[in-house]
Amino acid sequence: MRSVCQSWVTSCVYCILYVLVIYIQWDAFCVPELGNFLRVLDREEEEYLAQLKYKYKVMRR
């Protein structure tokens, strides 16, 4: 189960990264804005992983 979840999360991350690389005009942003954007992405990733871990924990009961 763990490897299935990890591969699913990995594929989702790659899809998100693809969208970020292809569809966003990065040169339109200044460095502080990009730093804030990365912080937001880090928080979202932490929240998403916490939700997955909680769901996995509940399912194991």
Per-residue exposure over 35-51, b if at least 16 CB sit within 10 Å of its own CB, e if not: eeeeeeeeeeeeeeeee
For residue 13, what pLDDT is reported?
67
Q: What is the pLDDT along the chain (61 residues), one digit of tens a residue?
A: 445 455 555 566 667 667 666 777 778 889 999 899 889 988 988 998 898 889 888 888 7
Full-model pTM: 0.56
